[in-house]
A = this chain, B = another copy of it.
Amino acid sequence: MRIALAQLNYHIGNFASNTDKIIHAVNKAKEEKADLIVFAELAVSGYPPRDFLEFDDFIDCCNDSLRTIATHCVGIAAIVGVPTYNRNDKGKRLFNTAAFLDEGEVKTMIGKTLLPNYDVFDEYRYFEPNRKFETVQYQGVSIAITICEDLWNITDDPLYVVNPVDELMKMKPGLLINIAASPFNYKQAEKRKQILCKNAATYRLPLFYVNHIGAQTELLFDGGSLVVDPTGKVRDELAYFEEDFRVYNLHDVVNRISDNEYKPVAKPKVELIHDALVMGVRNYFGKLGFKKAILGLSGGIDSAVTLVLACRALGNENVRAILLPSPFSSDHSVDDAIALAENVNCPFDIIHIDDAYNTFVRTLEPYFRGLPFNIAEENIQARVRAVILMAFTNKFGYILLNTSNKSEAAVGYGTLYGDMCGGLSVLGDVYKTEVYELAEFINKDGVLIPLNTINKPPSAELRFGQKDSDSLPDYDILDKILFQYLEELKSPKQIIAIGFDEAIVRKTLKLVNTNEYKRYQTPPVLRVSPKAFGMGRRMPIVGRYLS
């Protein structure tokens, strides 16, 4: 049996585009004499469709698409992910389904058993778990079809009380297929490979695995679809961060015969994050039908890295940088920003915010008279910049890119409706220390980001001589504490036991928890770590815990 894997970039709810892509791949697989083609989980709708799933009309559109696709499956079978109605009289109204298409028809529907409902996943919100286990017979092979999480209960500390593969093994399958929607984070590809290889080896079955690629707002899918032989060795993997399509001979995989030997490509974390962010920006704009980005360029490291990533995603001519010096900006900031804009060759303008800032101060003078300059005046500057940048978006149809990093977002070191504005947060899941790593990576073949931007002490420049370190611990320490709390879910005691100063730990965690209200209103964050702000981290605002 010849099996084609189609790793495609879908668009949520864009049925015309998704269906076209799928049919195009079916036809290509036929040309290449494949017997079976495999698409990803919920390919028809795109993943995650979220509450669109609650609309019958949306499910009906999925069904119509599926039937159209089925008519093209003559002389070839296909496995396609699609949401379908639960026709039983009890349980949630939908199944997360792998449809087996053949002879122009939908032949079998296999439901997903294990529904991830943690971090960014909400599948039990919509779907009833499958409880009926069956394999599909095709060309003399008994195929065990599973959907993403169905293979992930193979651990020492299982999250679910059922393991669907154990159930399927009772039907003695000769082939294991998994269709997935497994989003990227910098650890995920390795973890995924381990789990898949463990399944193949444990059940002594060849495994074909198809993932999504492409970004759906904050969720980035990196592809890396996989073929594993029955000893648990990877035979081949599809591209990362790109659409891909390949055909395999099942016999060769089972018997471990390979044309070209598989060589794993292990990219460093910083390069993975870089590639993921570029794809994230590109797809956000592309899928929303926008071409041009704008951002405020301060001369600091965050906006510098954001600018380079945006230029790589959209083309330098499509990214406009606005330098917005205030009375408190240093000369070198403007120089550094200009140098960068010239290095990347993107359009830029310099707009002084002194007049607008001074006008606000004058307007507020009757009310603020006699009170010292404080965060109110600092924030006015950040907000004046936002008003100007947003005016450009409204006048010319740009999307404003947010340049805040994860460390700032964590401790609330940013101005709501000021520098926290934007349609998309590019670096919101990248700690400050990682932003520096990205800058080094960007500069690896020659200086693009001015060295002064990289070497000077970080500053918001909202008052004279201000440095981030005036109000925050050094980022080297801060980021480590944040990592322990946000990602490792450690208690203050545990973090202090690692060796961090108690006062700094308590202050940091308090800042994290009292700034939930700010993060509630920030733009969607491109997710590159196992724990990003946004849908994957849901916190009360009025809570009082470590706050």
Instruction: Please indicate the chain B residues that have their CB under 8 angstroms from the CB of A379 in the complex.
Output: 390-391, 394
Taking CB atoms and an 8 Å cut-off, the chain A residues in 375-418 that contact chain B are 375-377, 379-380, 383-384, 386-388, 390-392, 394-395, 416-417
Interface flags for A483-500 (1: CB within 8 Å of B; 0: not) read 000000111111000000
Minimum CB–CB distance from A331 to chain B (whole Å) comes to 21
Known A161-B90, A489-B54: A390·B395 in contact at CB below 8 Å:
no
Question: Is there contact, CB below 8 Å, between A90 and B542?
Answer: no
Complex CA distance for A371 and B492, rounded to whole angstroms:
56
A442 to chain B, nearest CB (A): 26
For A349, the chain B residues whose CB sits under 8 A away are 367
CB <8 Å contact, B538 and A535 = yes
Q: Which residues of B contact A11 (CB under 8 A)?
A: 542-544
CB of A178 closer than 8 Å to a CB of B: no
**A359 beta carbon closer than 8 Å to chain B:** yes
What is the 8 Å Cβ interface bit string for chain A, positions 473-489, against chain B (1 contact, 0 not)?
Answer: 00000000000000001
Q: Which residue of B lies closest to A422 (CB)?
A: B521
Answer yes or no: A363 CB below 8 A from chain B CBs: yes
| B residues near A538, Cβ cutoff 8 Å | 50-51, 122, 125, 535
Question: How far does the alpha carbon of A224 sit from the alpha carbon of B461 in the complex, in Å?
Answer: 53
Q: Let me know if A423 and B380 touch, CB within 8 A.
A: no
The B-contacting residues of A in range 341-385, CB under 8 angstroms, are: 349, 351-353, 355-356, 359-360, 362-364, 367-368, 371, 374-377, 379-380, 383-384
- How distant is the Cα of A46 from the Cα of B542 in the complex, in angstroms? 11
Residue of B nearest to A61 (CB): B545
* Residue of B with least CB distance to A537: B51
Please state if A395 and B417 are interface contacts (CB–CB under 8 Å). no
User: Contact at B364–A391, with CB atoms within 8 Å?
Assistant: yes
Q: Which residue of B lies closest to A284 (CB)?
A: B542
Q: Is residue A13 within 8 Å, beta carbon to beta carbon, of the partner chain?
A: yes
- Give A403-446 as 1s and 0s: 1 = Cβ < 8 Å from B's Cβ atoms: 00000000000001100010100000000000000000000000
Complex: A221 Cα to B52 Cα, angstroms: 27
> What residues on B are CB-neighbors of A543 within 8 Å?
11-14, 46, 49-50, 52
Give 7 new A-B contacts, CB below 8 A, not counting A52-B540, A351-B367, A375-B394.
A11-B543, A50-B539, A56-B491, A57-B492, A90-B161, A122-B122, A288-B542
23 A-B pairs whose Cβ atoms sit less than 8 Å apart in the complex: A14-B543, A14-B544, A46-B540, A48-B540, A56-B489, A57-B490, A57-B491, A57-B492, A57-B494, A117-B117, A124-B124, A217-B542, A287-B542, A287-B544, A351-B363, A353-B363, A355-B359, A356-B360, A367-B392, A376-B395, A383-B387, A423-B517, A521-B521
